[in-house]
């Protein structure tokens, strides 16, 4: 089994009476690129800050690289890269100043050449102050600062938020650069499912503070299906099929969103309810995510490996 | 090395305010002092004319340096408030705490760098100007009766009160409570300490009040900073 680099146990956080993160049990193995997705206010940033020890959990615990998050040592922090939400850097510093500042905290592992190459590739002026950079440029500086120490674990909180498509592409290329270094693990939260689809091999879905899915991206994409069944007379009143997420009636048609239901079972069920025909509609990750997190009574954790 | 990096960063953030305070103190304090020296000379020589007597107060406690006192006091408190806001309130709005705190150093080191930077900022911005003023007032051609050393010490007490104001602002900035509840405690406590200090007459009393209040504020700041969520 792969070594676990990030682990949470019943991680819970209340802000006053508001439950932000609800008993999250998560294990991220070494070497994976994990997309951490959820709607606005789902608890992604809170969960990330809990993992990094910037917030204290109400109950539960989390461990990064084997060390409890509430007591991350300097040596462990050196092995973790963190890109903050909104790329909040010291606005008065120049890129060169920030490089110097950041480098002093990673004296042995800082890769001068990598940083210089990345800044040159992105065509960023080193003498320019952060406050004079655009959002996209700040994001790129932020990523370069996080990648140059060659971290074992890179955690990014919505790194592509507010960036245009071209800058996002460049940013993801930077991530892929890290991915190509063996044994590196990346956890990044995002709203943009296209980005997750492009670079992730694992997906973690959080909804209203609750962990809803933790599996490989491939399994998630295979598991969620939309089936449209046509009936000669009228669609049945009761729909009783395993893995039902949503059900919609359109005249003589029934549109079902299913999770983890294999094609054989769908075929059997279609026959049993007298459907004239049915077909499975291909969904992209965004549609799957929207269907998966839309309000429904089917709220159990989808964790393929443990089923 | 990491501490010095943090210290440099904090000093750089304090630099504009340090320079502003030093220039303001030098310009306004210098103007008052120069004007007072001119009139004091006239008054002094008229007092030394036959038939007049110099009173005991003027020979012992009075100093032309007193004219800069209120300005030094206001400037010192102002600098304390500004540095406290710069270091502990602004990062709440710019949301740079997570970037700063995810360093390979302890939170204690980060806080120690902030406090050290402020101490240096106070000493090297207002301190030399105050020493310069004292040296100027001690010159016989400026003022025939030199100021007592106590007056010099009183200037440093005002500077220390600026540090108390800074610590109070820092404590309030670190509080996550609403401004009208316990968040105001740091500033209110500093205000009470400043008033209490000004009402003391003996140097022992003054230093005791300042030492106790600084110890209380420092312990509360360390506790808040180490426990606080960012």
Q: What is the pLDDT of residues B175-194, one digit of tens each?
A: 988 877 889 999 999 999 99
Q: Residue A34: left if φ>0, alpha if ψ -120 to 50, beta else—which one? A: beta
CB burial of A272-307 (b: ≥16 within 10 Å; e: otherwise) equals: ebebeebeeeebebeebbebbbeeeeeeeebbeeee
Model confidence at A91, pLDDT cuts 50, 70, 90, reads very high
Which residue from A52, A77, A85 is facing B104, i.e. has the nearest CB?
A77
Tokens in use for A221? 């994409």
Q: Do B229 and A92 touch (CB under 8 A)?
A: no
Query: What percentage of chain A reaches a pLDDT higher than 90?
Result: 41
DSSP annotation string for chain A: -PPEEEEEEEEEEEETTEEEEEEEEEEEETT-EEEEE--TTSSHHHHHHHHTTSS--SEEEEEETTEEGGG--HHHHHTEEEE-TT----TTSBHHHHHHHHHTTSTTT--HHHHHHHHHHTT--TTSBGGGS-HHHHHHHHHHHHHTT--SEEEESSTTTT--HHHHHHHHHHHHHHHTSTT-EEEEEES-HHHHHHH-SEEEEEETTEEEEEEEHHHHHHHEEEEEEE-SS---S----TTEEEEEEETTEEEEEEES--HHHHHHHHHHTT-SEEEEEP--HHHHHHHHHSS-S----B-GGG-
Nearest to A151 by CA among A30, A9, A47: A30
Q: Do A91 and B1 touch (CB under 8 A)?
A: no
Q: Do B98 and A56 touch (CB under 8 A)?
A: no
pLDDT of residue A306: 46
Q: Do A74 and B106 touch (CB under 8 A)?
A: yes
Residue B104 with chain A: CB contacts under 8 Å: 74-75, 77-78, 105-106
* CA distance readout (Å), A107 to A33, A148, A213, B141: 26, 11, 38, 57
Place of tokens 């969960």: A47
Q: In the A/B pair of chains, how many CB contacts fall below 8 A?
A: 61
Query: Is the pLDDT at A35 greater than 50, yes or no?
Result: yes
Q: Do B98 and A49 touch (CB under 8 A)?
A: yes
Residue B95 with chain A: CB contacts under 8 Å: 84-86, 88
pLDDT of residue A26: 93
Place of tokens 């316990």: B182
A50 touches chain B (CB under 8 A): no
Each residue of A133-182: pLDDT tens digit?
988 889 889 988 998 998 999 999 988 877 788 878 877 877 776 666 66
Q: Do A105 and B103 touch (CB under 8 A)?
A: yes
Sign of the four-CA dihedral A102, A108, A111, A116: positive
Compute the nearest-CA separation of B21 from chain A (Å).
20
Q: Give the total residue count for chain B.
A: 230
Q: Do A52 and B98 touch (CB under 8 A)?
A: yes
Which residue from A78, A80, A88 is facing B95, i.e. has the nearest CB?
A88
Each residue of A57-69: pLDDT tens digit?
999 999 999 999 9
pLDDT of residue B197: 94
Nearest to B72 by CA among B120, B115, B22: B22
Compute the nearest-CA separation of A89 from chain B (Å).
6
Tell me which residue range forms the domain holding B76.
2-227
Q: Is B53 helix (H, G, I), strand (E, B) or coil?
A: coil
pLDDT of residue B140: 75
Which helix H or strand E contains B227, and what residues bound it? helix B203-227
Q: Do B230 and A54 touch (CB under 8 A)?
A: yes
Q: Give the total residue count for chain A.
A: 307
pLDDT of residue A307: 39
Q: Would strands A4-15 and A59-64 be described as parallel, antiparallel, or unpaired? A: antiparallel
Q: Does domain A4-208 have CATH number 3.40.50.300?
A: yes
**Dihedrals φ, ψ of A18, to 5°?**
-90, 125
**C-alpha to C-alpha distance for A191 and A286, rounded to whole angstroms:** 9
Tokens in use for A78? 């050196």
Compute the nearest-CA separation of A55 from chain B (Å).
5
Query: Is the pLDDT at A265 greater than 80, yes or no?
Result: yes
* 3-state secondary structure labels for all residues of B134-193: HHHHCCCCCCCCCCCHHHHHHHHHHHHHHHHHHHHHHHHHHCCCCCCCHHHHHHHHHHHH
- The tally of domains found in chain B comes to 1
Residue B101 with chain A: CB contacts under 8 Å: 54
Residue A78 with chain B: CB contacts under 8 Å: 104
**How big is chain B by its Cα radius of gyration, in Å?**
21
A54 touches chain B (CB under 8 A): yes
Spell out, as residue ranges, where chain B has pLDDT lower than 50: none
Tokens in use for A249? 């009636």
CB burial of A131-145 (b: ≥16 within 10 Å; e: otherwise) equals: eebeebbbbbbbbbb
DSSP state of B27: I
Higher pLDDT, residue B60 or A207 = A207
**C-alpha to C-alpha distance for B76 and B121, rounded to whole angstroms:** 11
A 125-164 residues with CB < 8 A to B: none
pLDDT of residue A12: 96
- Domain borders along chain A are 4-208, 222-299
Q: Residue A87: left if φ>0, alpha if ψ -120 to 50, beta else—which one? A: left
Which residue from B9, B96, B106 is facing A101, i.e. has the nearest CB?
B9
Nearest to B99 by CA among A82, A110, A137, A148: A82
Q: Do A80 and B105 touch (CB under 8 A)?
A: no
CATH fold of the domain at A222-299:
Alpha-Beta Plaits (3.30.70)
- Mean pLDDT taken over chain A: 87
Q: Do B12 and A92 touch (CB under 8 A)?
A: yes
Higher pLDDT, residue B17 or A293 = B17
pLDDT of residue A100: 94
Q: Do A104 and B1 touch (CB under 8 A)?
A: yes
């Amino acid at each position: 089994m792969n070594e676990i680099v990030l682990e949470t146990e019943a991680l819970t956080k209340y802000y006053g009476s508001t439950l932000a993160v609800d008993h999250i049990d998560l294990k991220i193995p070494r070497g994976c690129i994990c997309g951490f997705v959820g709607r606005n206010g789902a608890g992604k940033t809170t969960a990330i800050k809990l993992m990094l020890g910037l917030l204290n959990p109400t109950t539960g615990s989390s461990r990064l690289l084997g060390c409890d998050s509430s007591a991350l040592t300097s040596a462990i922090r050196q092995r973790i890269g963190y890109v903050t939400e909104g790329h909040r850097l010291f606005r008065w510093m120049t890129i060169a100043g920030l490089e110097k500042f950041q480098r002093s905290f990673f004296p042995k592992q800082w890769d001068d050449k990598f940083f210089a190459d990345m800044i040159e590739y992105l065509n960023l002026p080193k003498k320019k102050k952060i406050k004079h950079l655009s959002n996209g440029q700040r994001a790129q500086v932020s990523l370069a600062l996080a990648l140059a120490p060659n971290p074992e674990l890179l955690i990014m909180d919505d790194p592509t938020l507010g960036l245009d498509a071209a800058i996002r592409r460049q940013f993801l290329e930077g991530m892929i650069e890290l991915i190509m270094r063996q044994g590196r693990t990346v956890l990044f939260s995002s709203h943009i499912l296209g980005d997750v689809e492009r670079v992730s091999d694992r997906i973690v879905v959080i909804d209203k503070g609750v962990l809803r899915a933790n599996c490989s991206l491939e399994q998630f994409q295979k598991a969620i299906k939309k089936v449209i069944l046509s009936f000669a007379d009228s669609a049945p009143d009761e729909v009783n099929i395993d893995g039902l997420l949503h059900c919609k009636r359109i005249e003589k048609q029934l549109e079902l969103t299913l999770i983890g239901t294999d094609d054989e079972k769908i075929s059997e069920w279609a026959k049993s309810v007298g459907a004239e025909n049915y077909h499975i509609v291909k969904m992209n990750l965004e549609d799957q995510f929207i269907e998966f997190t839309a309000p429904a009574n089917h709220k159990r954790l989808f964790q393929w490996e443990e089923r | 090395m990491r501490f010095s990096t943090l210290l440099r960063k904090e000093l750089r953030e304090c630099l504009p305010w340090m320079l502003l305070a030093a220039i303001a103190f030098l310009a306004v304090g210098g103007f008052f002092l120069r004007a007072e020296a001119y009139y004091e000379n006239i008054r002094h020589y008229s007092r030394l004319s036959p038939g007049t007597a110099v009173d005991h107060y003027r020979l012992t406690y009075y100093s032309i340096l007193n004219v800069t006192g209120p300005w030094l006091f206001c400037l010192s408190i102002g600098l304390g408030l500004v540095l406290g806001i710069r270091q502990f309130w602004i990062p709440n709005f710019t949301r740079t705490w997570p970037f700063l705190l995810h360093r390979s150093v302890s939170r204690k080191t980060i806080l120690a760098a902030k406090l050290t930077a402020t101490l240096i900022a106070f000493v090297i911005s207002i301190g030399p100007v105050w020493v310069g003023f004292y040296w100027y007032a001690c010159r016989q051609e400026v003022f025939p009766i030199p100021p007592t050393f106590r007056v010099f010490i009183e200037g440093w007490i005002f500077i220390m009160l600026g540090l108390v104001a800074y610590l109070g602002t820092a404590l309030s900035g670190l509080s996550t409570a609403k401004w009208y509840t316990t968040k105001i405690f740091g500033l209110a406590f500093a205000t009470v300490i400043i008033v209490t200090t000004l009402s003391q007459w003996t140097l022992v009393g003054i230093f005791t009040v300042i030492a106790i209040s600084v110890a209380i504020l420092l312990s509360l700041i360390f506790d808040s900073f180490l426990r606080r969520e960012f």
